[in-house]
């Protein structure tokens, strides 16, 4: 504000206050920058961040139990594992309905394999139960059929349960016909039957694409009708099939029947097993910590969180081994990388550029090329063993086993990750003024002291940067351990891959991945604090 004669705010050329003009220019600049970044940001968010978020979500998501057995989950609310008693009839009744529906949709086996991760044997129990559900329903279906054949006819049922307008439209229509509409008042008159028929109708139309008007209903519907009628429902009906219904009401008293609990126990005694019920209850919420507990060798059981039995506790050991081997590899790269980086930093530019090529060539060479090179070199009939035998260091029978074990993984990964240590070390060392060491020596320090007290402390940031970089890369390695690691040289990544593609336990894979991701992000944060991501250099 050097213009002392002018009052009020300083104006820009266009007459607006300079402050506002500058602010809008700044805003425009910011907008332009953001617009340039936006396409890539959206691209990365969709192709990369969304998948990662999806994985995190999968590690806790557990909708499968309540989706497959919705009624059972609700009925189990009142049951307590601590009571030590098998759930009562209402739970088995709900299970029957759920299981009938699930077995028609063939999704009960999926839930069976999911729960099998928690208690072995559930998978076969569910598969078997799925087969037997129809038999339980048929007890009633047969008796209704004997009473009046109409009760097993699809057309009769459709007119009995369906809205007349809907039926007139649906009859004779091509599959799957118009969406089923329930006759008004039916869900009050015969609530259980109406529910079961609606389930059947939805399934028949959506999954099988059949016309409900002609399709014979499930045996489940008969079982539910029996339930309704014995409970005294169905009184005062005068629509289609009123006579048959009245006759059935008379007859059900003499029907042979069974409780659902008995029926299930007949299928398999394991349905009286508290562990099964406890597990279903423990995993009924939509979100579960179960996968994460599994990933740290614990388990969500009906009794609460428990440690896995020793023979199944593999993950903590595997995480430990991954960290331990990554640390070993990091240490090896420091050991081998420091002297080389030191030499490169001391030599004149021309020579150091020449030697740098020896570092950059492996860096640029395909990971698989380097891994296959080590696989070829390290095998028992490979070049290194041949060389050692030739030099007489070992005899032909005593060829070293250097592959398919931890040693192979460490050797190959040290080689592969060494450039990632040398490059940051070199870039730090290149900035250390040589005069400091010279000054130390002229003040009487020996070579060792000058290095230890003056040079080395200044190179520590390089060691830190390189170590974190190498460690981050090592901890998530998959290819090299898979190819040269054998069984005891594999990393947690290999287990994740196994769960994705072989055991299909995606939730556990996601939980293991999330833990690994958390570890890497913490290290990444540390790296950012020490080096700054902007300072990452390539080549």
497 binds another protein (CB under 8 A): yes
- Residue 259 binding another protein, by CB under 8 A: no
For another protein, the closer of residues 4 and 529 by Cβ is: 529
Sole window of 68-76, 119-127, 249-257, 506-514 interacting with another protein (rule: CB under 8 A): 506-514
Q: How far apart are CA 87 and CA 261, in angstroms?
A: 9
Distance between CA atoms of residues 228 and 189, nearest Å: 9
To the nearest 10 degrees (0 to 180), the angle between helices 456-475 and 315-346 is 140
Q: Find where tokens 């054998």 sit.
A: 486
Tell the burial category of 461 from Cβ atoms under 10 Å away from its Cβ (0-12, 13-18, 19+). middle
Helix axes 367-378, 406-429, angle to 10 degrees: 130
Binders of another protein in range 127-146 (CB under 8 A): none
By CB under 8 A, residue 375 contacts another protein: yes
Note whether 419 binds another protein by CB under 8 A. Answer: yes
Rule CB under 8 A: is residue 501 a binding residue for another protein?
A: yes
Q: Would you say 10 or 361 has its CB closer to another protein?
A: 361
DSSP-derived secondary structure letter, 209 = -
Closer to another protein by Cβ: residue 199 or 411: 411
Residue 95 or 512 with smaller CB distance to another protein: 512
CA-nearest of 62, 136, 61 to 99 is 136
Given candidates 6, 24, 29, 312, which one binds another protein under the rule CB under 8 A?
A: 29
Segment lying near another protein (by CB under 8 A), choices 88-96, 144-152, 240-248, 413-421: 413-421
User: Is 52 a binder of another protein (CB under 8 A)?
Assistant: yes
Which of 40, 84, 238, 256 is the binder for another protein (CB under 8 A)? 40
Subset of 450-489 contacting another protein (CB under 8 A): 472-473, 475-479, 482-483
Rounded to the nearest whole angstrom, what is the least distance from the CB of residue 301 to another protein in the complex? 27
Write out the two tokens for 414: 């040290």
Residues 433-452 that bind another protein (CB under 8 A): 447
Closest approach of another protein to the CB of residue 113, in Å: 17
Nearest to another protein of 131, 537 (CB atom): 537
- Which residues face 304 on adjacent strands? 301
When the beta carbons of 470 and 483 are compared against another protein, the nearer one is 483
How many residues belong to the chain? 539
Q: Is 294 one of the binding residues for another protein (CB under 8 A)? A: no
Do residues 276 and 122 touch, judged by C-beta distance below 8 A? Answer: yes
Q: How many whole angstroms separate alpha carbon 499 and alpha carbon 505?
A: 5
Task: For 404-447, give the DSSP string.
Answer: SSHHHHHHHHHHHHHHHHHHHHHHHHTTS-HHHHHHHHHTT--H
Among 424, 453, 457, 432, CA closest to 441: 453
Please, which of residues 55-114 interact with another protein by CB under 8 A?
A: 55, 58
CB of 34 to another protein, least distance (A): 7
Q: Which residues inside 328-357 make contact with another protein, applying CB under 8 A?
A: 336, 339-340, 343, 349, 353, 355, 357
Distance, in Å, from the CA atom of 154 to the CA atom of 193, rounded to the nearest integer, reads 15
The residue among 30 and 303 lying less far from another protein, judged by its C-beta, is 30
Residue 24 interacting with another protein (CB under 8 A):
no
Among 10, 17, 22, 51, binds another protein (CB under 8 A): 51
Do the Cβ atoms of 396 and 446 come closer than 8 Å? no
Site for another protein (CB under 8 A): which residue of 2, 5, 47, 395? 47
358 touching another protein, by CB under 8 A: yes
CB atoms within 10 A of CB 94: 20
Site residue total, another protein (CB under 8 A): 94
Can residue 388 be called a binding residue for another protein (CB under 8 A)?
A: no
With CB under 8 A as the contact rule, the residue among 10, 18, 20, 33 that binds another protein is: 33
Phi-psi region of 121 (alpha: psi -120 to 50; beta: other; left: phi over 0): left
Among 62-70, 112-120, 263-271, 530-538, which window interacts with another protein (CB under 8 A)? 530-538
**DSSP structure string for 461-489:** HHHHHHHHHHHHHHHT--HHHHHH-TTTT
CA distances (Å), 303 to each of 119, 121, 277, 313, 453, in order? 13, 19, 12, 18, 58
Q: Which stretch binds another protein (CB under 8 A): 48-56, 249-257, 260-268, 307-315?
A: 48-56
CB of 463 to another protein, least distance (A): 16
Query: Which one among 326, 415, 420, 531 touches another protein, defined by CB under 8 A?
Result: 415
When asked if residue 386 is in the footprint of another protein (CB under 8 A), the reply is yes
């Amino acid at each position: 504000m050097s213009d002392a004669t002018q009052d009020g705010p300083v104006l820009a050329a266009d007459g607006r206050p300079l402050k506002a003009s500058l602010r809008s220019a700044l805003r425009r600049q910011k907008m332009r920058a953001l617009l340039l970044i936006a396409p890539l940001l959206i691209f990365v968010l969709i192709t990369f961040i969304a998948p990662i978020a999806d994985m995190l979500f999968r590690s806790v998501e557990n909708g499968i139990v309540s989706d497959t057995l919705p009624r059972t989950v609700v009925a189990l609310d009142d049951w307590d594992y601590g009571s030590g008693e098998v759930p009562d009839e209402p739970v088995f009744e709900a299970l029957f309905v759920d299981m009938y529906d699930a077995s028609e949709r063939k999704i009960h086996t999926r839930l069976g394999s999911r729960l099998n991760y928690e208690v072995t044997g559930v998978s076969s129990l569910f598969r078997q139960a799925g087969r037997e559900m129809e038999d339980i329903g048929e007890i009633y279906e047969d008796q209704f059929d004997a009473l009046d054949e109409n009760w097993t006819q699809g057309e009769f049922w459709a007119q009995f349960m369906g809205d007349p307008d809907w039926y007139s439209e649906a009859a004779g229509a091509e599959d799957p016909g118009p969406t089923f509409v329930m006759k008004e008042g039916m869900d009050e008159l015969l609530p259980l039957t109406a529910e079961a028929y609606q389930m059947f109708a939805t399934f028949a139309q959506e999954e099988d694409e059949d016309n409900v008007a002609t399709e014979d209903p499930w045996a489940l519907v008969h079982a539910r009708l029996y339930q309704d009628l014995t409970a005294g429902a169905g009184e005062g009906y005068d629509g289609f099939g009123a006579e048959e219904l009245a006759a059935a009401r008379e007859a059900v008293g003499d029907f042979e029947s069974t409780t659902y609990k008995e029926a299930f126990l007949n299928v398999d005694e394991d349905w009286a097993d508290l562990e099964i019920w406890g597990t279903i209850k423990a995993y009924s919420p939509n979100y579960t910590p179960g996968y994460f507990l599994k990933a740290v060798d614990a388990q969500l059981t009906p009794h609460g969180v428990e440690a896995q039995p020793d023979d199944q506790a593999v993950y903590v050991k595997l995480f430990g081994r991954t960290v331990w081997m990554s640390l070993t590899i990091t240490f090896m790269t420091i050991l081998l990388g420091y002297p080389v980086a030191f030499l490169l930093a001391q030599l004149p530019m021309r020579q150091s550029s020449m030697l740098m090529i020896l570092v950059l060539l492996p860096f640029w060479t395909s990971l698989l090329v380097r891994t296959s090179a080590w696989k070829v070199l390290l095998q028992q009939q490979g070049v290194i063993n041949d060389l050692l035998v030739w030099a007489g260091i070992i005899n032909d029978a005593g060829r070293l086993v250097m592959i398919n074990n931890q040693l192979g993984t460490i050797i190959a990964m040290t080689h592969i990750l060494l450039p990632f240590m040398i490059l940051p070390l070199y870039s730090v060392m290149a900035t250390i003024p040589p005069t400091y060491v010279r000054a130390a020596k002229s003040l009487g320090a020996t070579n060792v002291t000058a290095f230890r007290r003056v040079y080395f402390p200044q190179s520590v940031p390089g060691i830190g940067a390189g170590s974190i970089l190498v460690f981050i890369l090592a901890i998530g390695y998959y290819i090299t351990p898979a190819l040269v690691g054998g069984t005891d040289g594999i990393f947690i990544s290999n287990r994740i891959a196994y769960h994705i593609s072989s055991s299909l336990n995606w939730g556990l894979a996601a939980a293991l991945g999330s833990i690994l991701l958390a570890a890497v992000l913490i290290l990444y944060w540390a790296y950012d604090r020490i080096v700054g991501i902007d300072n990452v250099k390539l080549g």
